[in-house]
Amino acid sequence: MSDVNGNGKFLVGIYDDDDVVLSAVKEVKGAGVRIQEVYSPIPIHGLDVALGHPRSRLGIAAFLFGLSGTLTALALTFYTEGFDWPMIVGGKDSYSPVVYVPIIFELTVLFCALGMVATFLISNGMGPTVKPLMYDLRTTDNKFAMAIDLSKNNIGEGDIEQILRKSGAAEVNIKQF
């Protein structure tokens, strides 16, 4: 079973080095083993590609949230100064968009940043009450863990362990959720 419902049996290969785990992913996949996920204390460039994860679409979310900020600022300034209570201050027209550039810019950035961060948290299932399923507590310190869901692989447990060890795993542990 997957780690979402948390009742599966996993084989966890523990690695000491980020370069080793990156090449191990290619080796293990090449041996026909399906990898659940890799956990690390640092970002490893190219790991998501090696694991076959699709490219993040956070940029699209950021753009759309930014756009909503721009439109909100335009609507706010237009409604207040152009329609609800027109005022001529400093010889400028009651509605003079150039003067509102700082407001438009700030609201664009604000909406973009907050919206994107919220999207990031939601898409990763993160929140203050979330209890993460940790395959090994050392993965937030100095170890790298490769989790293999046994129920999703047709290869035997012993063979997978061999493959993991051959790929450079310092330890192979069993983790049951």
Partner 1 sequence: MSHVTSAVRAPLITGGKTYADVTEDISRQVEGKPTREWTIAFTISVIVLLYGTACVFWTWWEGLGVWGLNKTVGWAWDITNFVWWVGIGHAGTLISAILLLFRQKWRTAVNRAAEAMTIFAVLCAASFILMHMGRPWLAYWALPLPNTFGSLWVNFKSPLVWDVFAISTYFTVSLVFWYMGLIPDLATIRDRARSKVSRYIYGAFAMGWNGSAKTWARYEYMSLILAGLSTPLVLSVHTIVSMDFATSVIPGWHTTIFPPYFVAGAIFSGFAMVQNLVLIIRVVFKLEDYITIEHIESMNKVITLTGSIVGVAYLTEFFIAWYSGVEFESYAFINRATGPYWWAYWAMMTCNVITPQLFWSRAIRRSIVWTFVLSVIVNIGMWFERFVIIVTSLHRDYLPSSWAMFHPTLFDISDYIFSFGFFFTLFLLFSKFLPVINMAEVKTVIKSSSEKLPVSVSGVAKGERVANPTFNKDVE
Contact flag: residue 117 with partner 1 (CB under 8 A): yes
Give the H/E segment covering residue 145: strand 144-149
Closest distance to partner 1 from the beta carbon of 58 (Å) = 5
Q: Decide if 13 contacts 145 (C-beta within 8 A).
A: yes
Query: How wide is the angle at C-alpha 171 spanned by C-alphas 2 and 27, nearest 5°?
Result: 70
Q: Decide if 40 contacts 21 (C-beta within 8 A).
A: yes
Q: Which residue has the tokens 């399923």?
A: 133
Q: Angle, nearest 10°, between helix axes 58-77 and 101-123? A: 140
Interface positions, 29-68, toward partner 1 (CB under 8 A): 37-48, 51, 53, 56, 58-59, 62
Contact flag: residue 154 with partner 1 (CB under 8 A): no
Nearer to partner 1, 114 or 156 (CB): 114
By CB under 8 A, name the binding residues for partner 1: 17-20, 22-23, 37-48, 51, 53, 56, 58-59, 62, 76-77, 80-81, 84-85, 87, 89-90, 92, 96, 99-100, 102-103, 105-107, 109-110, 112-114, 116-117, 120-121, 123-134, 137-142
